[in-house]
Amino acid sequence: MELLSTNVCFEGEHRRYRHTSATLECDMEFAVYLPPVAVGSRPGKVPVLYWLSGLTCTDQNFMQKAGALKRAAQLGMAIVCPDTSPRGVNLPGEDDSYDFGSGAGFYINATEQPWAPHYRMYDYVVKELPQLIEDELPVSDKRSISGHSMGGHGALICALKNPGRYASVSAFAPIANPTECPWGQKAFKGYLGDNPRSWEEWDATLLIPTARERLPLLVDQGTADEFLDSQLNPDALADACEKFHHHINLRMHRGYDHSYFFIASFIDDHLDHHAKALGL
């Protein structure tokens, strides 16, 4: 890992790193916040919250806009923010639109060419990046996961597909039923092909019926979110959870939109939710 920058923040450290990803076959950058207990002359190992960001974001948006680091410092929790897609692999069309290609990896493993060799963000965030973090930094193998929009979708599927890997999961305004919305359909068709059956394993709503572990879901959604009706569909997720007795706390917040102002307003609730599950 190459250290790109470091900033002292609430007596802990915010760091940015670059490394060569074998999974994605390119260099990747990510951000880490280490709380005070994990820095200094005798650092202790701390649990990690993995945060998955949304369309067009990089590793930097959450760290700079969410206002999460003060509470993370108090709790003794590390936060890791990966990027949202491979970068600089020079595939045709990867920079043509905001909702496919660069900045839009959707946290799935592509099977279609030319995307398949690089666009494997699911394997990257579930396997490769945590292994690297746990090998190189003062963190434990106790993990939780959360995210926003496309990243909320990513957090939900990562937890649902990997029983025992995460202590808790939450999401802000997730793309809850991507097989039934324009964002998801465009991405899944491009990355996975024309057969909708191959899309189903990447849709949180469709994973609920057969989930082998039923971690409680904390989902926050703003009622003034411009994407609520056309793209996000939290009601489909809630209906599936009710039918299959999967606990969900879907909180609708009047007047809030899709922005980081919304995330910053409720991020402490999510950090506390994960801290409880992580034993902090």
Task: Return d(Cα 203, Cα 150) in angstroms, integer.
Answer: 11
Are 30 and 121 in contact, with CB atoms under 8 Å apart? no
Clarify whether 41 is annotated catalytic. Answer: no
Verify whether residue 149 is a known catalytic residue. Answer: yes
* Identified catalytic residue from 148, 258, 270, 273: 258
Reading the block at residue 69, the tokens are 């680091």
Q: How far apart are CA 116 and CA 70, in angstroms?
A: 39
* Per annotation, catalytic residue among 21, 146, 225, 274: 225
The pairing of beta strand 26-34 with beta strand 12-21: antiparallel
Which of 53, 149, 168, 170 is labelled catalytic? 149
> Is 99 an active-site residue?
no
Positions marked catalytic: 149, 225, 258
